[in-house]
Amino acid sequence: MTRSPSLIQLRQVTKTYGTGSAAFRALRGFDLDIAAGEFVAIMGASGSGKSTMMNILGFLDTPTTGRYLFGGREVQGLSKEQRALIRRHYLGFVFQGFNLLARTSALENVELPLLYRGLPRGERRARAREALDAVGLLPWQNHSSNELSGGQQQRVAVARAIAADPQVLFADEPTGNLDSKASEEVMRLIAALNESKGITVVIVTHESGMAGYARRIVTVHDGLIASDVRHDDRRTEKEVA
């Protein structure tokens, strides 16, 4: 199978926190390429460096040494404001804790990143409704997040992430606060969005069952990539059932 050119390239990336005897090397120097349209799961034990890697990939942190290229463009030379613009226009994020506004409707939560983009109200509403429809929650658009189940809240978070039509969706332990049924629902949704919309997906998870939805699993150990395995088939709804 011919692969797309790499959207994301990391070259000998390291990350060190602190200095001197107190220094901690979270990442120890590795290469990683992610092509447009891939679905990649990053796995590893607590403290392995997987979350640090995710933060760097998502422009939330910067490498100590090494190179990061996004769409062929060097990230290191970008200002904080330029990195924020890339996050706003090209990236979507889903976190373990949902990060929804509790007393705000599902629709208004999904509109929020579009508001930051300065889109007119009518366009924001239309795109937010389209995103909620994609995750099966349009009938709940006027419910506040505290009126929704955990699985529904995470689906709203996914809708919020895709409403801005990102190139890459980053999900950090997206099922960490969910029961097994809701976890499967969210992962099937993310896999379907990757398949139907071609969104590049990168998830961090410590659960092998959730990583099984990806077509590629990168395992991190002690700040290095221990394995990088691709497989043609991922879990299907039939297999889950």
- Please report the pLDDT score of residue 233 as a whole number: 60
Per-run averaged pLDDT (10 residues), the chain, 241 residues: 72 95 93 96 93 94 95 90 91 90 94 89 95 95 95 94 94 92 94 94 94 96 95 53 37
Is 5 inside a domain boundary? no
Is 53 inside a domain boundary? no
- Please report the pLDDT score of residue 32 as a whole number: 97
Tell me, what DSSP letter sits at residue 146?
A: G
- Please report the pLDDT score of residue 236 as a whole number: 45
DSSP for 22-84 reads G-EEEEEEEEEEEETT-EEEEE--TTSSHHHHHHHHTTSS--SEEEEEETTEESTT--HHHHH
Is 28 inside a domain boundary? no
Is 22 inside a domain boundary? no
Is 205 inside a domain boundary? yes
Is 207 inside a domain boundary? yes
Is 220 inside a domain boundary? yes
Provide the domain limits for residue 169: 38-48+81-240
pTM for this entry = 0.89
Angstrom CA distances, 41 to 44, 228, 239, stand at 10, 10, 19
- Please report the pLDDT score of residue 239 as a whole number: 45
Tell me, what DSSP letter sits at residue 147?
A: G
